[in-house]
Amino acid sequence: MSAVGAVGAAQPAAAPSGKASARQSRRTRITNRRNLELGLLVAVWLIGLYAYAEVDLAVLGKLPANLLAVAGLLAVLLGGAHIAIRILAPYADPVLVPIAALLNMLGLAMIHRLDLADAVRAQRNGTKLPSADVIAQLTWTTLALLLFAAILFTVRDHRRLQRFTYTAMVAGVVLLLLPFLPGIGTTVNGATLWVRLGPLSFQPSELAKIALAIFFAGYLVVKRDSLALVRRKVLGLGVPRGRDLGPIAVVWLFVIGLLALQNDLGTALMFFGLFVAVLYVATQRKSWLLIGGTMFIVACVIGYFAFGQVRVRVQVWLDTWTYASDQGYQLAQSLFGLANGGIFGTGWGQGYPQFVPFAKSDFIVAALGEELGVTGFMAILLLYGILVERGLRTAIACSDPFGKLLAVGLSSVMALQVFVVVGGVTRLIPLTGLTTPFLAYGGSALIANWMMIALVMRISDRNRRPVPDGPVIPWAGNHR
């Protein structure tokens, strides 16, 4: 990246006419690593097809009839995304989209596998064959990729989003409160996170992630200097002034309210964590992390004593096997499945992931853990890890503070979500209603997550784009 800047900086000295400079810039073109992305996408495409074929071979004993059609469709989807990136964000990070696509493919393969299990069971019991959820998920994937391209197209400069800081706040709060509107809100599996409009249902908290990330980034860019002021030092850490606890207290109260209404600790953790992470990066005061952590623990304690569902989840977490036949059934089945998978997994199509309730959404990562083993599970976790790391790296390389905070926010929220979901499913922490990004069945989550990738790609593209020819006009807000 520094090479980009150095070579780019060499250009203005020539101060030539347009055509000559264009020729020169072509000669000294910076590799934009899109070919690497293409290569990775081809590998992802092959892996996805392999998984699909393997599932059918294992469960049905033969290759899927529509393998070529599916191959074509996936090639069009992935190729289309790649072309959109080449046109709209050619200098962006080459690893983000292949990883997101790979996770998406793995999710599709597992949903298909679970569809087959449903069909076998329906056949055995003589009931009606259920519709294949994988088709819905494929449709959502297409839609998500279209929106991905749309975001890249409409948002040419991420800094423009800063203008919408307070709009984003309102949008985020409204989205979070939507499930509580009578008539359209629904409670699923104990948590009120879903909104149903006719035949479609979506999780507004997924879109709220983006809105609130934009809001927090925009708000803290302005307020960070004052929030970084310290009155005194306690235990070697600077403690902020009392009045600056205001914003975090407001967020905390909002989150507690959300917890009360939603009966789900997961979204609370995710949003509060998002705020604390962005706050920490904006002010660089470690004390905010400690204060945030303490407030979160207090929120958990309140949640445990005040809200029934939270208490149930914690009890099941602490003593799963006693509750294995009723409230702990889901978690117990997930653990049985994972234990069954062992080191190498049972193999695609050869485990029993269908015994875990909500295997297609909440517990899809447990289903993958059973069939791919701990090796596959670790690989998936590492994929998420790399995704988050690329996002944070984009933040580091970003030269404007809003972009930095936005990238940090989006990466942190993804990291937290993965931690909360995988931790709940594997009994590291109590279970919540969140689902794993890209893997789980759910249109709103897919769309929201691909939009997040689009925003990070936009920031990353600007980072790596060579400085334009002509005199460099320093950006007023350009300080680290």
Query: Which residues here bind another protein, judged by CB under 8 A?
Result: 124, 277, 280-282, 284, 286, 289, 321, 324-325, 332, 335-343, 351-352, 355, 369, 373-374, 377-378, 381, 384-385, 388-389, 392, 395-396, 401, 404-405, 408, 411-412, 415-416, 418-419, 422-423, 426-428, 480
Q: How far is Cα 239 from Cα 448, in angstroms, rounded to an integer?
A: 36
Judged by CB, which is closer to another protein: 64, or 347? 347
Beta carbon of residue 429, minimum distance to another protein (angstroms, whole number) = 9
Alpha helix segments (H runs only) across 342-400: 364-397
Asked if residues 182 and 423 have their Cβ atoms less than 8 Å apart, the reply is no
Judged by CB, which is closer to another protein: 130, or 308? 130
Q: Write out the H or E segment, with its range, that includes residue 466.
A: none
Read off φ and ψ for residue 16, nearest 5 degrees: -95, -175
Q: Which of 337, 383, 403, 411 is nearest to 117 (CA)?
A: 337
Judged by CB, which is closer to another protein: 246, or 342? 342
Beta carbon of residue 156, minimum distance to another protein (angstroms, whole number) = 24
Q: How far is Cα 141 from Cα 101, in angstroms, rounded to an integer?
A: 9
Reduced to 3 states (helix: H, G, I; strand: E, B; else coil), residue 25 is: helix
Beta carbon of residue 387, minimum distance to another protein (angstroms, whole number) = 11
Beta carbon of residue 215, minimum distance to another protein (angstroms, whole number) = 18
Judged by CB, which is closer to another protein: 41, or 422? 422
Q: DSSP string of 186-251?
A: EEETTEEEEEEETTEEE-HHHHHHHHHHHHHHHHHHHHHHHHT-EEEEETTEEEEPGGGHHHHHHH
Judged by CB, which is closer to another protein: 186, or 322? 322
Strand order of the β-sheet with 191-197 is 185-188, 191-197, 200-202
Judged by CB, which is closer to another protein: 150, or 374? 374
Pairing of strands 237-240, 230-234: antiparallel
Judged by CB, which is closer to another protein: 313, or 390? 390
Beta carbon of residue 377, minimum distance to another protein (angstroms, whole number) = 5
Judged by CB, which is closer to another protein: 369, or 443? 369
Structure-derived torsion over alpha carbons of residues 86, 91, 92, 95, reported in degrees to the nearest 10: 80
Beta carbon of residue 197, minimum distance to another protein (angstroms, whole number) = 35
The contacts of residue 86 (CB under 8 Å, 6+ apart) are: 34
DSSP symbol at 471: P
Q: Which of 275, 293, 277, 286 is nearest to 228 (CA)?
A: 286
DSSP symbol at 30: P
Beta carbon of residue 324, minimum distance to another protein (angstroms, whole number) = 5
Judged by CB, which is closer to another protein: 299, or 338? 338
Judged by CB, which is closer to another protein: 204, or 341? 341
CA distances from 322 to 189, 258, 428 (A): 20, 30, 17
Q: How far is Cα 121 from Cα 115, in angstroms, rounded to an integer?
A: 10
Beta carbon of residue 220, minimum distance to another protein (angstroms, whole number) = 11
Q: DSSP string of 86-146?
A: HHH-TTS-SSHHHHHHHHHHHHHHHHHHHHHHHHHHHHHHT-PPPPPHHHHHHHHHHHHHH
Q: Tokens standing for 31?
A: 């590799």
Q: With 0-12 CB in 10 A as exposed, 13-18 as middle and 19+ as buried, what is 228?
A: middle
Beta carbon of residue 480, minimum distance to another protein (angstroms, whole number) = 6
Q: Tokens standing for 385?
A: 């890890």
The contacts of residue 225 (CB under 8 Å, 6+ apart) are: none
Q: Residues for the chain: how many in total?
A: 480
Q: How far is Cα 219 from Cα 423, in angstroms, rounded to an integer?
A: 31
Judged by CB, which is closer to another protein: 182, or 236? 236
Beta carbon of residue 254, minimum distance to another protein (angstroms, whole number) = 22
Q: Tokens standing for 248?
A: 């975090």
Asked if residues 478 and 399 have their Cβ atoms less than 8 Å apart, the reply is yes
Beta carbon of residue 404, minimum distance to another protein (angstroms, whole number) = 6
Judged by CB, which is closer to another protein: 351, or 433? 351
Judged by CB, which is closer to another protein: 411, or 444? 411
Beta carbon of residue 21, minimum distance to another protein (angstroms, whole number) = 32
